Structure 1
């Protein structure tokens, strides 16, 4: 059985009481118990929060994304995230920091953040106590994330009800994930930050031109309702780069790992499947939000 890394502020998804490690389970005082999986993660997604029998990304999507990301094709995105996180941690000066990846998928971005920014080493030499949590609604994603074998708390859960105590998180990263301001406001400390990564208008435009009859260049989503929840946009940066030329297998993995496979026409899919290689534009917008709730929101 793989080792499970317990986090300090986990709560029961059923009654919101603190969870404590008891043998091979997490238990709350209300009598609810959640077994640690043999791979080293815990499932804190209540059945009533599932919108399907197997929510989130499928096993096939996760495997495709693993292959694509491990090939380093999106490493510049990871590098930019790591730089932004480093800036926020340096600015905070806190000795104890909790970072939560909301929608961690197969764990690529959080694991690379931990190793490249030497967050694990910092904890080991007691310079800065860093607690890392990855949450995703897909059990296949979380199972894949445990294979990095890092001291990260991996959790099957939902961003709509993150299973951590209110006011316990310093920084949330959300890489192309689904979120609402009120979800993150519940768990962030005052002064906490959110780093969002979202597709730019020209992201993967070459692929989109092949699989769609008409390409709609949509702007990144507006940050609706953030002020009411105590958030302020403090930074926005755009990253654009051209990954190495994709081979046939990588083109197929890219299709499978994104929603484009399910939105494309039959003709578009056929055209993509015939590609032997593809040069792409990757364009990602990073936005950093700061959380400072008004007194009546606390």
Structure 2
């Protein structure tokens, strides 16, 4: 197995091809984007930002790095590998984007557990600069990019897989950059995901939204699988990290967060739904 950085990048200003010029990426129109010393490139124009520092902040990124590197979600990562590389996979070269990569745990895990016969070209993209900085520090091989799923800085028809874990899929953009027959591997929280934690921090639980049955326009469903297991969180710091890496940190009230802070340990249900969607 060989792994190289994905290089079919597009200028976020005019959509033309970007070319690596040593310490920067440049397009034929003269737009230039410097490669940061950590090894990533910032391709999120200010006009595409909704705030000065969109996405996860430093504390959330650090919490996610500690929690995921401790292996608490490894069964999800294993199921992801199986979905990206199904048993009947025949491709020998696969280009893969992690859309909303966070600090890069799942992309690193995929690279470390890919079939030995596959050549991978990898790219991780996140709207959070702090997440991409953390990812680039931990693994120098993939192309790490600050960008948005709504305006992917990727040339049309150049990807074989897009992973989107607990994130925000933008199907028209995903369809644009996938090759015909390319696939989205989407991972979403199931209705019971972290239920025990949610029962502690919220006065009452809302009914989960109805499951999505139909494939989005331009895609065919290739099946759905479920990952479900009981997880023991051993101490206060791990509970705090789990909470900090979820939206619940900002949705829960002060009383609920105080109850969570008092916990010495916690057993929770982990439930993730994995969908494979093939571009028609």
Q: TM-score range by the shorter chain?
A: over 0.9
Partner of 1:212: 202
Q: TM-score, normalized by length of structure 2?
A: 0.94
| Residue equivalent to 1:182 | 172
- Match for residue 212 of structure 2? 222
Pair 1:97 & 2:90 matched = no
Aligned equivalents of 2:265, 2:83: Cα separation in 1: 32
C-alpha displacement at 1:181, in angstroms? 1.4
User: Could you tell me which of 105, 112, 135 is aligned with 1:115?
Assistant: 112
CA contact under 8 A between 1:181 and 1:225: conserved in structure 2?
Answer: no
Deviation at 1:251?
0.8
- Aligned residues, how many? 277
Instruction: Note the C-alpha offset of 1:6.
Output: 5.0
Tell me the residue number matched to 1:296: none
CA distance in structure 2 between the partners assigned to 1:221 and 1:257 by the alignment: 23
Give the CA deviation at 1:224: 6.5
Gaps of 5+ in 1: 293-298
2:273 corresponding residue in structure 1 = 285
Residues 50-89 of structure 1 mapped to structure 2, 5 A cutoff: 50-87=49-86
Deviations 1:118-145 (A, max 9, x none): 5xxx5xxxx5432001000001000110
Distance, in Å, in 1 between the alignment partners of 2:194 and 2:92 is: 40
Report the Cα offset of residue 65 of structure 1: 0.5
> What does the per-residue CA deviation read over 1:164-220, in whole Å, with 9 as the maximum and x for residues that have no partner?
111110010000010121121110101010000000000000000000000123146
Q: Is the 8 A contact 1:111 1:150 kept in 2?
A: no
Q: Which runs of 4+ in 1 moved over 4 A?
A: none
Does residue 1:263 correspond to 2:260, yes or no? no
Alpha-carbon deviations, 1:248-294, whole Å to 9, x = none?
101111111111011111111110111111111100000110101xx
TM normalised by structure 1 equals 0.89
Deviation at 1:246, TM superposition (A): 3.1
Give the 3 Å change call, closer, same or farther, for CA 225–289 of structure 1 in structure 2: closer
Partner SS, residue 150 of structure 2: helix
Which residue of structure 2 lines up, in the alignment, with residue 295 of structure 1?
A: none
1:153 maps to 143
Task: Tell me the equivalent position of 1:245.
Answer: 233
- Following TM superposition, by how much is the alpha carbon of 1:150 offset from its aligned partner in structure 2, in angstroms? 4.0
Contact map agreement 1:133 1:154 (CA 8 A) in 2: yes
Structure 1 position 254 matched with structure 2 position 242:
yes
Equivalence for 1:140? 130
How much does 1:245 deviate? Answer: 3.0
Match of 1:18 in 2: 17
Per-residue deviation, 1:116: 2.0
SS in 2 for 1:65: helix
* Structure 1 counterpart SS, 2:16: coil
Greater RCO (CA < 8 Å, at least 6 residues apart): 2
- Aligned partner of residue 242 in structure 1, secondary structure: strand
Is there any run of 5+ residues in structure 2 with no aligned partner, and where? none
Cα distance in 2 for residues equivalent to 1:33 and 1:6: 19
The offset of 1:148, in angstroms, is 2.2
